[in-house]
């Protein structure tokens, strides 16, 4: 075989090219707060980062042994796989040893405002070497340059890290199919929405939540209303004549009551991020399926840090619990009607968990407005807002008016 002429570039295999790229990862600039050192351990690209306090933190980028592309989590099979060549690792084990209750009062005594300050993560991409400034309060997202999925939860400054999570069970393709089916079933949707929207702008997000366990004892005062009937005689005119009629009239007799009711709350779920009515309607969540937090189940998705602190989260939990407590009070009062006056609630046996829940979110543009659709990444429940077609509504109203006018015409003709 003749030698390659000197003016022709040599051809490298993809694996050799990727290895060369990894070897040429630029070092972290000296003015950055983190210092990166990349090495390879058991076919995993490991970026060791020294923070300002000298503590070493490992950010692992798992690469495909065949094509060196970054591995991502496959919700359908529960494995890490390569989206380029199809390589697949053995199924991940879903342990739940860390999903345990933590003492709330003890944690409130030790946590400070600094521990819950906004999270700002900056690092060099372990694949292309580009400087990546993560979005605020985000610790897993794709590299903006090479799209490599980066999981930097080890760099989060939050004292409270997620203990457990519900891994994604619905793939992006399945999520899009369900969103399109939901979309097609909406009445009054503009006909050209599917052509002008940005359906590809969908991302899987692991959203932070708190769960709270506690017991309540509530002293209350109120009123109980019992219905009774009285016979009333009235004088009425019938066919021009005055007649006497009797009828039974319902009345309510009220009297004061007081008492005490007890309630127990288990895994009362409270969003720890930006809450929306859409996200709230994605439940119920199968919290019995919670497993330990694992970076491998985050790969390929976006992970958000909590923005609602543990104390504020508990205040929100107490507000949610009031609805159940008031329902218990009404049952305790009895009667046909109830009025709740004062309540004095005490709380005991307080505990909490910090978990992540999977959500597929699709943002799309129609006209000058942006709309959002959310899908439960575990159960497939869906909620969203959408535009309305003024023309479709107009023609429907016009059709109804025409039908009513036609019916009136035939009735008058008869």
The pLDDT, as a whole number, for residue 200 is 62
The pLDDT, as a whole number, for residue 253 is 95
State the Cα–Cα distance between residues 168 and 11, nearest whole angstrom.
40
pLDDT tens string 114-145: 888 888 998 888 788 888 999 999 999 999 89
Residue range 79-94: mean pLDDT, rounded: 90
The pLDDT, as a whole number, for residue 88 is 92
pLDDT tens string 238-290: 887 888 888 889 999 999 999 999 999 999 999 998 766 678 889 899 999 99
Which region among 2-16, 63-77, 87-101 has the lowest average model confidence (pLDDT)?
Answer: 2-16
The pLDDT, as a whole number, for residue 26 is 36
- Record the pTM: 0.78
pLDDT exceeding 70 applies to what percent of the chain? 79
Neighbours of 106 (CB within 10 A): 11
The pLDDT, as a whole number, for residue 34 is 37
Grade residue 191 by pLDDT with cuts at 50, 70 and 90. low
pLDDT of residue 75 exceeding 80: yes
Grade residue 21 by pLDDT with cuts at 50, 70 and 90. very low
> pLDDT averaged over the chain?
82
pLDDT tens string 360-376: 998 877 777 777 889 99
Residue range 378-395: mean pLDDT, rounded: 76
Residue range 337-341: mean pLDDT, rounded: 96
pLDDT of residue 197 exceeding 70: no
Residue range 388-403: mean pLDDT, rounded: 74
pLDDT of residue 195 exceeding 90: no
Residue range 23-39: mean pLDDT, rounded: 38
The pLDDT, as a whole number, for residue 14 is 41
User: Token digits for 394?
Assistant: 């107009």
The pLDDT, as a whole number, for residue 55 is 45
Assess whether the previous peptide bond of 284 is cis (omega < 30° from 0). Answer: yes
The pLDDT, as a whole number, for residue 391 is 63
pLDDT exceeding 90 applies to what percent of the chain? 47
What is the distance in angstroms between the CA of the first residue and the CA of the last residue of the chain?
101
State the Cα–Cα distance between residues 207 and 222, nearest whole angstrom.
40
Q: Domain map of the chain by residue range?
A: 14-92+118-156, 210-357
């Amino acid at each position: 075989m003749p030698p390659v002429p000197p003016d022709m570039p040599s051809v490298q295999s993809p694996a050799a090219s990727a290895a060369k790229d990894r070897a040429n990862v630029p070092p972290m600039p000296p003015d950055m707060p983190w210092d990166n050192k990349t090495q390879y351990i058991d076919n995993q690209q490991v970026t060791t980062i020294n923070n300002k306090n000298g503590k070493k933190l490992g950010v692992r980028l798992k690469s495909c042994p065949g094509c060196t592309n970054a591995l991502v989590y496959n919700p359908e099979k529960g494995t890490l796989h390569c989206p380029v060549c199809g390589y697949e690792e053995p199924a991940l084990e879903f342990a739940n040893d860390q999903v345990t209750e933590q003492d709330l009062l003890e944690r409130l005594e030790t946590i400070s405002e600094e521990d819950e300050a906004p999270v700002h993560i900056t690092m060099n991409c372990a694949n292309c070497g580009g400087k990546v400034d993560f979005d605020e309060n985000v610790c897993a997202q794709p590299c903006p340059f090479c799209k490599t999925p980066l999981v930097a939860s080890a760099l989060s400054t939050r004292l409270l890290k997620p203990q457990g999570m519900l891994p994604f069970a619905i793939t992006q393709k399945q999520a899009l199919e369900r969103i399109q089916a939901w979309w097609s079933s909406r009445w009054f949707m503009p006909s050209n929405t599917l052509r002008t929207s940005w359906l590809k702008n969908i991302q899987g997000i692991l959203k932070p939540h708190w769960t709270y366990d506690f017991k309540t004892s509530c002293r209350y005062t109120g009123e109980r209303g019992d219905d009774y009937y009285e016979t009333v005689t009235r004088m009425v005119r019938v066919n021009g004549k005055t007649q006497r009629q009797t009828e039974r009239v319902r009345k309510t007799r009220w009297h004061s009551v007081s008492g005490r009711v007890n309630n127990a709350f288990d895994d009362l779920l409270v969003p720890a991020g930006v809450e929306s009515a859409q996200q709230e309607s994605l439940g119920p969540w199968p919290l019995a399926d919670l497993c330990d937090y694992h970076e491998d189940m985050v790969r390929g998705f976006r992970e958000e840090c909590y923005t609602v602190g543990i104390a504020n989260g508990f205040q929100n939990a107490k507000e949610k619990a009031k609805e159940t407590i008031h329902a218990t009070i009404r049952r305790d009062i009895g009667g046909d009607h109830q009025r709740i006056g004062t309540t004095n609630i005490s709380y005991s046996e307080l505990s909490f968990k910090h978990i992540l829940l999977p959500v597929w979110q699709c943002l799309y543009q129609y006209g000058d407005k942006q709309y959002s659709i959310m899908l439960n990444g575990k159960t497939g429940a869906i909620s969203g807002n959408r535009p309305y077609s003024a023309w479709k509504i107009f023609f429907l109203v016009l059709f109804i008016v025409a039908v009513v006018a036609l019916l009136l015409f035939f009735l008058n003709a008869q």
